[in-house]
Structure 1
């Protein structure tokens, strides 16, 4: 029954809102948000139409470690809580998020309505969504690898009052040879081969530096 509800709701959203080739966006500064809902990271599945609209095309997907969602969600939570941002955050565990999303999908006639209802149900002003496209662990050690770590994910912030995207960033990185690390210290931070988690941690930190309200 749960799966049936999911697919019925998914079809509804795709028919009414998910077919847009470019999602609605606004470049207005975000000054009125007080509380943001943080959804657990979701895995990209190329064989499934996605529920959440993101403004990026052509991201190369790849292997995704099973624990990637839990790892990135925890890292994001830790970084948000220490980033000195002017918001309060509400975090959902995967089961809570899944149940809430299914219920809201069944009640919505479009993607923007889905976002607005989701924000209303949780009492927030905005919703932060993350999607993982690639999370491949390095094959080797910190000093020698056969394959480097490779990570790709996006973060998208939706306005809970309009359903529009107000901010979005992507991180897409496969570690380069160590000789190039000096040129990319802001990404790698160390002269070593990083694990996928270390690379993802650095990526989240970089994206949050661009988050609305972050001190430059």
Structure 2
């Protein structure tokens, strides 16, 4: 049975407990918003190649990934520089990145932390290209279609938190091979595109899902 004293306690103190909980949630959301707003500068590492040296990769395979890394570096620069927001993107040269790697950071996160200090940004963008193979043949009849894959993560070095991450992997299929590709095939003009064009599509698709990397 509920006594009068218990009933009084519930009626008097429960509203304060509820308001306290709401205030705590509100403060957490406000702190998160302020922290996100502070990420107004993002350092961009040069694209790394995801080469599996344990399986003795071929020279041709390594060369393909190196070419893909160069192409993706240019795409990242063009994509991020065309954004209309107030966020600043600062690119680290491949030479500087190699020197950071040689300095002997104990982990990838330590390397990103040191790189962030060089460009004075609280967050770093890291991209790894995993596959890059151009089409063999013409625009309308390719013996081998273009193929590309990469992964990325945006890391907040101050909060030690991944802000965004994603992976793109596609080998172009003809319209006859996959009828679900009608919209994509229409956008591509019903032609077989290059591996570089696949990367451009992938960067746009994945970065549009990250508020720090899109308008």
Unaligned runs of 5+ in 2: 1-31, 55-59
Structure of higher RCO (CA pairs closer than 8 Å, 6+ residues apart): 1
The secondary structure found in structure 2 opposite 1:203 is helix
Asked if 1:152 corresponds to 2:158, the answer is: no
Work out whether residues 41 and 130 of structure 1, in 8 Å CA contact, stay in contact via their aligned partners in 2.
yes
Question: For each residue in 1:14-48, what CA deviation from the matched residue of structure 2 results, as whole angstroms up to 9, or x when unmatched?
Answer: xxxxxxxxxxxxxx663220111111111102236
Asked if 1:139 corresponds to 2:141, the answer is: no
**Matched residue count:** 171
Question: For each residue in 1:53-77, what CA deviation from the matched residue of structure 2 results, as whole angstroms up to 9, or x when unmatched?
Answer: xxxxxxxxx9462321111100111
Report the CA distance shift for 1:123/1:67 in structure 2 as closer, same or farther (over 3 A). Answer: same
The structure whose residues are more often helix, as a share, is 2
Asked if 1:71 corresponds to 2:71, the answer is: yes
Report the CA distance shift for 1:176/1:43 in structure 2 as closer, same or farther (over 3 A). Answer: same
Give the drift of 1:109.
4.3
Deviant stretches of 4+, over 6 Å: none
Distance in 2 between residues matched to 1:96 and 1:109, nearest whole Å: 17
Asked if 1:192 corresponds to 2:191, the answer is: yes
Asked if 1:172 corresponds to 2:169, the answer is: yes
Give the drift of 1:115.
2.9
Distance in 1 between residues matched to 2:185 and 2:204, nearest whole Å: 13
**Structure of higher CA gyration radius:** 2
Larger CA deviation: 132-141 vs 121-130: 121-130
* TM-score normalized with structure 2 length: 0.71
Q: State the superposition RMSD in angstroms.
A: 2.3
Give the drift of 1:166.
1.6
Query: What is aligned with 2:200?
Result: 201
The secondary structure found in structure 2 opposite 1:178 is coil
Give the drift of 1:84.
2.2
Work out whether residues 126 and 158 of structure 1, in 8 Å CA contact, stay in contact via their aligned partners in 2.
yes
1:36 to 26, 36, 42: 42
Question: For each residue in 1:109-134, what CA deviation from the matched residue of structure 2 results, as whole angstroms up to 9, or x when unmatched?
Answer: 45444433331232111100110110
Asked if 1:90 corresponds to 2:90, the answer is: yes
Give the drift of 1:177.
1.2
The secondary structure found in structure 1 opposite 2:98 is helix
Asked if 1:115 corresponds to 2:112, the answer is: yes
